[in-house]
Structure 1
């Protein structure tokens, strides 16, 4: 039986106003009444929480009380779907999907193995390589130091579990490799060329239904602020390879790739969630938000790969005032 009223909770909502807008627009197209709940550590300082119908304060996602707090909200508000928005909360949610399901709430998250792979950049590269996907040479900083002569310089150095382009640097000379790092670091072969975000939607049966790329024309704090959709010839093969590499993936995922001038398209990172640039994909017709609502509401799922090429997004800052 299909449902015409749904409640969606956005966790760690932060600045994800556009993501909420995508879900509201999708619900309107489906003639579904949507109630939006948002939570954050400090909802009074979250723009997305101010645009929700109701907002809650919750502990940090690395706090043992986090899952209990979100579960209480879901029970109180009769939440149908939880949409996580940041990487650190994915594993806690993935490990507790059955608990939420027993209360009638679906978590938009893949199985723990997929999340663990995505959170470990070295493991991501090894997993993709085994599946036959093109990836740059990647190793631990310690191993790279021991085999300096085997590397071509410059190289990229980045945290093994980082996100939002945090602490990424280009190292032009072996003597400049960082020492006494505060966290595990990896070294990755330098690639030069256009960079793309490629978003995929995998339905609840594990079928990859859509794969859309946009060129990252300008990036701020790891998130695209200017982008344009592009139908890359490699997309069908990439979708098949991703589905093979991550058979337990579900819902929206995104990964970064660079079209190197000599090596072609190389996958460099994976995020097992909605990417920050998802609103561009949604506007171009890759309506992941709508397809998730269709699944949760028991409606026929309209997922397809018929999105528009050449759609340009130009983001700008907008202020939200309270009081």
Structure 2
């Protein structure tokens, strides 16, 4: 056991509760641990909230990789958890940083490079899910005019969203006959790579699903990729800015088949946040996957589950029972606003320049 058991949370942003819950996990396990928070903005909500705060260059900065490795060599964490989609792409796909961290003895939860790409590309994600037998809505490129015309003859409403967006980027629910106009509108703000101009193919269109939308956390073994450890579910009651704002915990039974198939195919370690619609026939369809702690995890944590405790125990070789995965169905929780001082005038003036 290291002298100061350490976990690093990258790009924690507004998720101060996650820092608290990892601290609580150390305390519950009797470990004198520390939570290091890394941010590129020293005035963000979480930047100064960790036991140790470190400013790193933005993930797009060429200096980011060396700075991250230097931090790891200094702090010697056993676990690195990022909650930023784009930082995860940089770690797992655009560079070999995730592997370099693992070679240093750091657990870096996530999915395979192929599935990480799929999580960032909604068209590719639909193909990956189809291949493993997980139900998902038909997903068309916004530029597929013949496909959109055929779809309009079968459904009344469609969902339009950015192909490479995060959260609810570009989301619009429109009559099927208005899909082309909605695609044209979404193209204006569509994120792309390589500095090119966005096109209609950077937008996807899907039929609107019926049923109830759920958020499901799929938790994989930290040491055995693809081995399923837990499935945690809640029904979404209200959304705000692309994130679940109010939810009620529910039994995870209807989602376990999909969870097992995804965990195995993706080589999952740690937690991913999956959005599913539960139809009247009892079958669940996957509409999105976020390969990280998502905004819906707090609802199952407050109902009794404790994934941070599982992660800390697994990372540092502490034996715990299976109670960490248990939660009470029927618990309704809602988010609320909070605010804290993150810097004084000297630092703030530097950031503003």
Q: How does 1:70-149 map to 2 (within 5 A)?
A: 70-94=68-92, 95-143=96-144, 145-149=145-149
Question: Separation in 2 of the partners of 1:104 and 1:130?
Answer: 33
| Aligned with residue 338 of structure 2, among 303, 306, 318 | 318
- Aligned-pair CA distance for 1:256: 0.2
State the Cα distance separating 1:263 from its structure 2 match.
8.3
Aligned to 2:287, the other structure's residue is in SS state strand
Q: Distance in 1 between matches of 2:148 and 2:262?
A: 31
Written as runs of structure 1 = structure 2, the 5 A alignment for 1:279-318 is 279-300=298-319, 302-303=321-322, 305-318=325-338
CA separation of 1:187 and 1:92: change in aligned 2, threshold 3 A: same
- Deviation, 1:229, is 0.8
Structure-1 separation of matches of 2:321 and 2:282: 36
Relative to structure 1, is the Cα distance of residues 262 and 292 closer, same or farther in structure 2, using a 3 angstrom cutoff?
closer
Contact 1:10–1:39 (8 Å) recurs in 2: yes
Counterpart-to-counterpart distance in 2, 1:177 and 1:321: 40
Q: What is the deviation of 1:11?
A: 0.9
CA RMSD of aligned residues (A): 2.1
Which residue in the other structure is 1:198 paired with? 216
Match of 2:184 in 1: 179
Report SS of the residue matched to 2:140: strand
Please give the secondary structure, in 2, of the residue aligned with 1:178.
Answer: helix
CA distance in 2, matches of 1:24, 1:156: 40
Alpha-carbon separation, structure 2, partners of 1:71 and 1:156: 41
Q: Which has the higher strand share?
A: 1
Q: Is 1:267 equivalent to 2:286 in the alignment?
A: yes
Deviates more, 1:192-201 or 1:294-303: 294-303
Q: Is the 8 A contact 1:251 1:292 kept in 2?
A: yes
TM-score between both structures, scaled by the size of structure 1: 0.91
Contact 2:140 2:147 in 1 (8 A): no
Give the whole-Å Cα distance in 2 for the aligned partners of 1:188 and 1:65: 39
Aligned-partner Cα distance in 1 for 2:81–2:321: 20
Is the 8 Å Cα contact of residues 62 and 88 (structure 1) preserved in structure 2?
no
After superposition, where does 1:198-277 map in structure 2 within 5 Å?
198-203=216-221, 204-205=223-224, 206-246=226-266, 248-261=267-280, 264-277=283-296
TM-score, L = length of structure 2: 0.84
C-alpha change, 1:301 and 1:161, in structure 2 (3 Å) is farther
Gaps of 5+ in 2: 191-197, 345-353
CA distance in 1, matches of 2:250, 2:299: 11
- Change over 3 Å in CA distance of 1:3–1:310 after alignment to 2: farther
Partners of 2:218 and 2:263 within 8 A in 1: no
Deviations 1:113-140 (A, max 9, x none): 2211211111111111221111111111
Residues 67 and 92, structure 1, Cα contact 8 Å, conserved in 2: no
**Cα deviation, residue 110, structure 1:** 2.7
Q: Which runs of 5+ in 1 are unaligned?
A: none
1:169 aligns with 2:172: yes
Work out the CA distance in 2 between the residues paired with 1:148 and 1:135. Answer: 17
Alignment partner of 1:110: what SS?
coil
Aligned pairs, number: 319
**CA distance, structure 2, for counterparts of residue 120 and residue 307 of structure 1:** 32
- Correspondence 1:64 to 2:62: yes
Aligned partner of 1:38 in structure 2 is 37
